[in-house]
Amino acid sequence: MTAPAEGARDGAFMRIALGHALAAGEAGEVPVGAVLVCGEDIIAAGGNRPIASHDPTAHAEIQALRAGGEALASYRLNDTTLYVTLEPCVMCAGAIVHARVRRLVFGAWDARAGAAGSITNVFTLPGLNHRVDVFGGVLMHECARLLQEFFVPRRE
């Protein structure tokens, strides 16, 4: 269970991730944002950019992990927490494990592509050499609403 102080901290960093998601949505991307934190410091952030970058791997999580690796001068992101507004897909979940992120905190669940429990759970696969502590549903309604508001006019 998350302690009250940690829960408030998680909410504060998720609000920052929501800001990056909003910026991605305003740029025409699916509004997903991510923030990578070490201690109390944000070391990297990102928003979805696959459309603008012509890169199918340019999800918010990947953007934040890449920038975090640069900031720490290492591909190992030990003792970090990744905040992301949407449950990671299989690709992003695998990258989070390989980067050795300590904690993952996400907002909305993704019933179509979520790999932290919705359609599969990459983080519990046997044989992986690293375990990530995963917490879902932080500011879930705000994160889900942003996605819903983005997709409604595109589906009409």
User: DSSP string of 84-133?
Assistant: EEE---HHHHHHHHHTT-SEEEEEE--TTT-TBTTS-BGGG-TT-S---E
Q: Hey, how many other C-beta atoms are within 10 angstroms of the C-beta on 131?
A: 11
58-110 tens-digit pLDDT: 999 999 999 999 999 999 999 999 999 999 999 999 999 999 999 999 999 99
- Please say if the pLDDT value at position 3 is more than 80: no
Is 29 tagged catalytic? no
Q: What's the CA gap between 75 and 64, in Å, rounded?
A: 12
Whether residue 47 contacts residue 32, with contact meaning beta carbons closer than 8 Å, is answered with yes
Q: What's the CA gap between 64 and 44, in Å, rounded?
A: 5
117-133 tens-digit pLDDT: 999 999 999 999 999 99
Region 28-42: mean pLDDT is 97
At 102, the amino acid letter reads: R
Percent of the chain whose predicted confidence (pLDDT) is above 90: 90
Q: Which of 6, 26, 61, 70 is catalytic?
A: 61
Q: So what's the pLDDT on residue 1? A: 44
Instruction: Please report which confidence band the pLDDT of residue 7 belongs to, taking 50, 70 and 90 as the band edges.
Output: confident
Q: What is the pTM of this model?
A: 0.94
